[in-house]
Amino acid sequence: MIDPISRPDRFAAGAAPEPRTLDELVQARIDGRLSRRGLLRRAVALGFAAPVIGVMLHAAGDVAAAAPARQDKQPIPVTGPTKPAGEAQTGGTVTVGSNSEPDTLHPYITQLVAASDVIWGMMDGLFTYDSEQKLAPRLATAYSISDDGLTYTFTLREGVSFHNGDAFTGEDVVNSWKIIMNPDFGAFNQNGWDKIDDITVDGSTVTMRTTEVYAPFLSYVADTRICPSSAIAKGVDVFKQEFGRAPIGTGPFTFGEWRAKEQITLDKFDGYWGEPAHLDRIIYRIVPDDNTLMVQLRTGEVQACGSGAGIPPTRVDEALGFDTIDVLQHATLGWNHIDLKNVDFIRMTKVRQALDFATPSKDIIEKLLKGRALPSVADQAPGSWAFDPDIQPRPYDLEQAKQLLAEAGLTPGDGGVLQGKIPTDDPQVGDGEVKPFEIELWFVSGNTDNERIAQVVAQSWNSLGVKTTVKNQDISTIWGPEGYQFTPQMTGALFGWFNGNDPTDAYYWNSSQIPSTPTGSGGNLPAYFHHYNFQEEIDKLTTAGDATTDQEARKQIYFQIQELLHEEVPVIFIDWEVAFPGVAKNIGGFWPSAFNYLLWNAGEWYLT
Amino acid sequence: MLRFTIRRLLGAIPLLLGVSVLSFAFMQLAPGGPDALFARNARMTTAQLEQIRHNMGLDRPVPEQLLVWIGNLLRGDLGMSYAQYRPVSQVIGDVFPNTVVLMAAGLTISLAASLGFGILAARNPYGVFDNVTSFFSYFGLAMPVFWFGLMLQLLFAVHLGWLPSAGMYSAAGGGGLGDLLRHLALPAFTIAIGSIAGWSRYVRSSTLEQFGQDYVRTARAKGLAEQRVVRGHVLRNALIPFVTVVAIDAPLYLTGAVLTETVFSWPGMGRLFYDSLTVRDYPVLMGTLMLGAALIVAGNLIADLVYGVLDPRISLR
């Protein structure tokens, strides 16, 4: 029995017995006869785990001593919906916190994850990706693909109505397609929809005929939210403006209210086609400051966060100390890398490999990112069916790096900076003008993780004699036509790409994705000045990957691509981001993942 | 005075036009653009990008963009936000009232506190109270405002649990004056700290200056109570320059306070401006800059008018 009151005079001076049980140890601590460290040391020696002692001390009122428990707590990997103990209730409100406000709630024009997080609670697609990356039926109950891979047939669900009372029909699918492809409307993402030649509706059957075999078709089209024809009929401008501020869908929640920069309210939809939502209301609260978001999670003002705005990896330890919050963890489809502009020495495979050898990715992940990320060797996420598990990352090896640079004809010049002849016709042979190896390493300002990574990498590269200068710019400048990617000098840049649910990666590597001018579009930026030395090969592979619907055949293609990328190092792969959603311990059904958006199953969330 | 007001208002028109041309030019000079984020989306096609530029009007020459903007402004149309796809007047109209609420509360607190502290300090210069307030004034000026915000949040929201940590109303079941005041307390006080620190020094020195004047000695010599000397004579004279300072500072308040608004999730103009700047939402930036310029012009005009009222020796022509 522990006495919570501190009594240093419990025993006469020198008469205190040596504490032998946990109770006695805790009592000695409370009475001030034992330091906290002393207590922990002895308790561990007695075979007790630190968290247990923390709980004991906490119970005894020594709040500060509970802190050591924190280190042993780890985020919980997401394997299914949260299942808190206790009875599921019907009704109640959950407040979700986010550091970014949606630009618009229009599914066809938003650019922000935050917006999709909210939209997914209100609107359905024909299918939706569940948290195991499988297409789950929503507005359609089934689909089939013709043998030639060109025609997709969907069976629509019957008895579905929109929030405004309109019945959902195949015409809504047709009109959604038309508005997405309407140039005056300016949809943000036309992927997949732009391959459709014609859509025919026959009762509850919708048939889409496409112009070419395009493997990622379903991943885009089936997962697109469908809008009601009556809203689309209001015209391009009204549909864009009004619908973007008050969307109408078929989901378990209806749009309630949007108070700018403050919050968006979603209310339960009584006419929902499936199981009605357990909750009455979800509030999406805008909390722009990460500190404040942590405070609100702690005070319970915010009960969940994730996806567009999870707990920042560097604050996970702090959040693990909150009593009422579980910190979850799941992999993502976002990969961080150093984008290497394909000019001068960087055109040589050996130089790129050398820079990879000289980039301490393992230490970056373990030390800078506190182990809260996964290693990356190529562009497919670990866990994806297209991921090649056999590729090993290059070790951090400055000797090999030096060797490769020497083989590329680079020798120390003024001030120890390497210099050599740059390649002209053959990218692998240095036969042109002599240049020093000076490279700029860019990051987007405000990204403190990347800032630290850039400094570590620069230090390592500098030690090789590659003169590296760290630079940064704000996001609208760095991606603009004056950005680093369009300057003539050698550059690297730290940033992340996000893959879709389909492994297609043509937009990163295919020569058709090289911007034609600095204001042009396309993801293959490093090859703006020169095609890669392996351009032909990767063009063939990425095109084949898109044109094959057989998953096993595609898998082999993407394995080949990953091997090629690892061999050629067009970019230096660093890590796969890991996401840390936070959720109050009394919320059930919460099941975030990288494959969908936060509110995708909000109808199944409940309070206990 | 009416003629003076009209003349000043007419004079403001070319001034504001000048401000608009300059703001527009500076915005164009900044590298990058509103289409940069679209362009760097790996899944966007060139045709789509061209269309988006066309819809934004970015495919027209810059001078033409400015003329179109001014033409629309004269018709009372501030244009469409690039980032939010709705009229700028709506975008600003949604958050401006929130800023007015926060700033009115902040101003009230800082006015009351800086007058009180300043006058008390001046009554006994270099005394204990004066030294203490001057210490805290420098402290208040030296520490960054977000630090105060975070400390207040930690103390009152986390440890004491008396006040909500952020927001303008409670997320669920919020609304009403009481809820607003509870949310208002911390950000309003945070915003006021900087002004209290500066203004109280100002009030102190201008009050102190008056205490040394002949008319104060006269007032005391004729046997007036100290209270009447201070209230009837010293303050009236000491506050004239202070009113000017406040009238000129106050409009700056209304353009928002990014840091305080961010820490306390206050849905105001400062955050709107910062967010719009990040994505180069030119129409919203132009709208907020013009609103700010107009408020400053108005603040200056009011300062001049009040000056005339407080000091009959000044005549406005």
- For A508-558, how does the pLDDT look when each residue is reduced to its tens digit (9 = 90+)? 999 998 988 888 888 899 999 999 999 999 999 999 999 998 899 999 999
pLDDT score at B277: 86
pLDDT score at B46: 78
Q: Which of A437-451, A550-564, B241-255 has the lowest mean pLDDT?
A: B241-255
A241:B85 CB<8 A: yes
Share of chain A above pLDDT 70, in %: 91
Contact, A4 vs A27, CB < 8 A?
no
Residues of chain B positioned with their CB less than 8 A from the CB of A525? 40
Q: How many contacts, defined by CB atoms under 8 Å, are there between A and B?
A: 178
Please check whether residues A496 and A411 belong to one and the same domain.
yes
Domain count, chain A: 3
A241:B263 CB<8 A: no
Predicted TM-score of the model (pTM): 0.82
Residues of chain A positioned with their CB less than 8 A from the CB of B43? 189, 191, 500, 507, 523
What CATH number should be reported for the domain holding residue A361?
3.10.105.10
Average pLDDT value for chain A: 89
Q: Is A257 on the interface with B (CB under 8 A)?
A: no
What CATH number should be reported for the domain holding residue A128?
3.90.76.10
Classify residue A509 by burial, with Cβ atoms within 10 Å: 0-12, 13-18, 19+: buried
Please check whether residues A275 and A421 belong to one and the same domain.
no
- Please indicate, yes or no, if residue A16 is contained in any of the structural domains: no
B38:A262 CB<8 A: no
Please check whether residues A115 and A130 belong to one and the same domain.
no
- Please indicate, yes or no, if residue A316 is contained in any of the structural domains: no
The parent domain of residue A555 ranges over 333-579
Our CA-based measurement puts residue A189 at a distance from the nearest CA of chain B, in whole angstroms, of: 7
How many helices and strands in chain A, by DSSP H and E?
19, 24
Residue ranges of B 67-106 with Cβ closer than 8 A to chain A = 83-87, 91, 94-95, 98
Confidence of residue B32 (pLDDT cuts 50, 70, 90): confident
B94-310: which CATH number, 1.10.3720.10, 1.25.40.10, 3.30.470.20, 3.40.640.10? 1.10.3720.10
Segment B261-270 shows an average pLDDT of 89
| Angle, alpha carbons B311-B313-B317 (nearest 5°) | 100
- The token pair that represents B22 in the structure block: 């300059």
A475:B36 CB<8 A: yes
pLDDT score at A52: 45
Q: Is A261 on the interface with B (CB under 8 A)?
A: yes
Q: Which residues contact B176 (CB under 8 A, 6 or more apart)?
A: none
Q: Is A486 on the interface with B (CB under 8 A)?
A: no
- Please indicate, yes or no, if residue A12 is contained in any of the structural domains: no
Q: What is this model's ipTM? A: 0.80
Whole-number Å distance between alpha carbons of B165 and B90 = 28
Q: Residue A496 above 60 pLDDT?
A: yes
pLDDT score at A71: 52
Confidence of residue B154 (pLDDT cuts 50, 70, 90): confident
Task: Locate the domains of chain B by residue range.
Answer: 2-74, 94-310
Q: Which of A7-16, A255-264, A437-446, B301-310 has the lowest mean pLDDT?
A: A7-16
Phi, psi (degrees; rounded to nearest 5) at B80: -105, 140
User: What pLDDT digit, counting tens, does each position of A364-393 carry?
Assistant: 998 888 888 999 999 999 888 999 999 999
Partners of A192 in the beta sheet? none
Measured between alpha carbons, how far is residue A104 from residues A240, A576, B210 in Å?
9, 28, 57
- Please indicate, yes or no, if residue A9 is contained in any of the structural domains: no
Please check whether residues A481 and A385 belong to one and the same domain.
yes
Q: Residue A312 above 90 pLDDT?
A: no
pLDDT score at A61: 43
Please check whether residues A370 and A447 belong to one and the same domain.
yes
- The token pair that represents B288 in the structure block: 């907020």
Which of A194, A220, A241 finishes a domain?
A241
Please check whether residues A538 and A426 belong to one and the same domain.
yes
User: What pLDDT digit, counting tens, does each position of B124-153 carry?
Assistant: 888 888 888 888 888 888 888 888 888 888
Residues of chain A positioned with their CB less than 8 A from the CB of B157? 295, 299
Please check whether residues A154 and A291 belong to one and the same domain.
no
Average pLDDT value for chain B: 85
Q: Residue A45 above 70 pLDDT?
A: no
Higher local confidence (pLDDT), A585 or A67: A585
A520:B172 CB<8 A: no
Q: Residue A36 above 70 pLDDT?
A: no
Segment A355-363 shows an average pLDDT of 94
Contact, A216 vs A505, CB < 8 A?
no
Q: Which of A163-172, B31-40, B201-210 has the lowest mean pLDDT?
A: B31-40
Please check whether residues A216 and A266 belong to one and the same domain.
no
The bridge status of strand A373-375 relative to strand A571-579 is: antiparallel
Please check whether residues A364 and A512 belong to one and the same domain.
yes
Confidence of residue A273 (pLDDT cuts 50, 70, 90): very high
Higher local confidence (pLDDT), B310 or A538: A538
Residue in chain A lying closest to B95 (CA)? A260
Please check whether residues A420 and A472 belong to one and the same domain.
yes
Classify residue A164 by burial, with Cβ atoms within 10 Å: 0-12, 13-18, 19+: exposed
What CATH number should be reported for the domain holding residue A83?
3.40.190.10
Please check whether residues A117 and A235 belong to one and the same domain.
no
Share of chain B above pLDDT 90, in %: 10
User: What pLDDT digit, counting tens, does each position of A51-96 carry?
Assistant: 444 444 444 444 333 334 445 789 999 999 999 998 999 999 999 9
Q: Which of A260, A291, A482 sits opposite B95 (nearest CB)?
A: A260
Q: Residue A315 above 90 pLDDT?
A: no
User: What pLDDT digit, counting tens, does each position of B92-103 carry?
Assistant: 999 999 999 998
A479:B164 CB<8 A: no
- DSSP secondary structure letter of residue B17: H
Segment B309-313 shows an average pLDDT of 75
Please check whether residues A133 and A273 belong to one and the same domain.
no
Residue A149 three-state SS: coil
- Please indicate, yes or no, if residue A532 is contained in any of the structural domains: yes
- Please indicate, yes or no, if residue A395 is contained in any of the structural domains: yes
**Among positive and negative, which fits the CA dihedral A264, A270, A271, A276?**
positive
Measured between alpha carbons, how far is residue A497 from residues A204, A581, B51 in Å?
38, 20, 24
pLDDT score at A70: 44
B32:A477 CB<8 A: yes
- The token pair that represents B251 in the structure block: 């409009």
Confidence of residue B5 (pLDDT cuts 50, 70, 90): confident
Q: Residue A502 above 90 pLDDT?
A: yes
CA A99 to the chain's CA centroid: 15
B263:A189 CB<8 A: no
Q: Is A496 on the interface with B (CB under 8 A)?
A: no
- Please indicate, yes or no, if residue A325 is contained in any of the structural domains: no
Share of chain A above pLDDT 90, in %: 70
Contact, A484 vs A491, CB < 8 A?
yes
**Burial call A275-312: b when 16+ CB within 10 Å, e when fewer:** eebbbebbbbbbbbbebbbbbbbbbebbbbbbbbbbbb
Confidence of residue B216 (pLDDT cuts 50, 70, 90): confident
Both ends of chain B: CA-CA distance in Å? Answer: 7
Contact, A402 vs A464, CB < 8 A?
yes
